[in-house]
Amino acid sequence: MGSDTVTVEKLGFVFPGQASQVVGMGKDLYEQSAAARAILDEVDDTLGRSLTSLMFDGPIEELTDTQNAQPAVAAVSLATHAALKEFLGAAPEPAMVAGHSLGEYSALAVAEVLSVSDTVRLVVERGRLMQEACNEKPGGMVALIGIDEFAVEDVCRETGAELSNVNTSEQIIISGTHRALAQAIDLAAARGARKCITLQVGGAFHSGLMEPAQVGLNEMIESMQFNDPTIPLVGNCRATSLTTGDQVRAELQSQLTSCVQWQRSVDFMIEQGVEKFVEIGPGKVLCGMIKRINREVPITALGDMESIKAFAA
């Protein structure tokens, strides 16, 4: 290869969802990066309260509340991306972006579909409405390990539970009423599931029980201007590129009640030429999933200044 030839890896930026929150997240970004500080201050200004103090100091019980966790995780993801761009002079331009559930909102902000403040306002309303829906229609979520999607679909048909996340071929999440989930756990175990893990979440996300939240959120979505993505954005529901603002709007208008097709999204990005994934935000949940989807594709996690500096090096 000639000395004047530079090979640039095609990167896929992916953004985590709720349950990645941890007390202390974002603090070093705030202290060491002016760009990250500007994002986090903008989030506080948009909310009219100090979400950052809750993120930095807790308590974890309050941070884990859906209404706080969602904007907090999105804020740290966007602040990490801003710090990366600032540290490198310009962030490496990803070939594609995607996010898991809530993370899709971080992805669309990075793709400039909405401004940071509009994204945060939408995420806060999403969290509020989801909390209301959880109170109105109680339910939960269960991770089924070691049972394939077809068998899970059968379990759902027979119990009234719903397929809510296909994270990997070995990890599928179902949602529903507590009664439906209890029946589904028994049936899935009988059908060969290695583990059935009840998730510590507030309700039956990505199922029909979220319909009241989706209806409320759609009013706000309709009122906002959606720009065409500057970077191809892979949608959770369709697991394919969304290239116009209208396509992103339609995606969000069904996302709360639809299954998150994460495995198909990752497979699609790899088919489109993504050679390396970068998880941007708190935690490493998506790193673990992507490793189980495809062991050949490298992935790194960025969520603080130390990881950003290591990535830059």
Supply the CATH number for residue 147's domain: 3.30.70.250
Q: Domain for residue 71, yes or no? A: yes
CA pair distance 290, 126, nearest whole angstrom: 26
In a domain? residue 1: no
Of 177, 198, 219, which residue constitutes the final position of a domain? 198
Give the chain's count of helices (H) and strands (E). 14, 10
Residue 101 a catalytic site member: yes
Domain membership of residue 160 as a residue range:
140-198
Phi/psi of residue 253, nearest 5 degrees? -75, -5
**Nearest alpha-carbon partner for 97 in 8, 15, 36, 20:** 15
Q: Give Cα separations from 57 to 51, 126, 280, 287 (angstroms).
A: 10, 24, 21, 26
> 162, 177, 198: which is the final residue of a domain?
198
Q: What is the CATH number of the domain that holds 281?
A: 3.40.366.10
Q: Are residues 105 and 219 in the same domain?
A: yes
Task: Show Cβ contacts of residue 117 under 8 Å, excluding neighbours closer than 6 positions.
Answer: 42, 45, 46
Question: 5 lies in a domain?
Answer: no
Same domain, 118 and 91: yes
The dihedral through the CA atoms of 42, 132, 224, 221 has a sign that is positive
Q: Bridge partners of 163?
A: 174
Q: For position 8, what pLDDT does the model report?
A: 60
User: Residue 6 domain-assigned?
Assistant: no
Question: Do 73 and 108 reside in the same domain of the chain?
Answer: yes
- The C-alpha atoms of residue 132 and residue 152 are separated, in whole angstroms, by 28
Into how many domains does the chain fold? 2
- Do 147 and 284 have their domain in common? no
pLDDT of amino acid 161: 98
- What angle in degrees, to the nearest 10, is found between the helix axes of 211-223 and 116-136? 160
pLDDT confidence of residue 2: 37
Residues 308 and 231 in one domain: yes
Does residue 150 belong to any structural domain of this protein? yes
The verdict on 124 and 214 lying in the same domain is yes
Select which of 77, 101, 258, 307 is catalytic.
101
Domain membership of residue 220 (yes or no) is yes
Residue at 3 is within a domain: no
Catalytic-labelled residue, pool 206, 207, 258, 307: 206
Low-confidence ranges of the chain (pLDDT < 50): 1-7
Between strands 299-302 and 276-280, the pairing is parallel
- Overall residue count recorded for the chain in this entry: 313
Confidence (pLDDT) at 64:
87
2 lies in some domain: no
If asked whether residues 128 and 24 sit together in one domain, one would say: yes
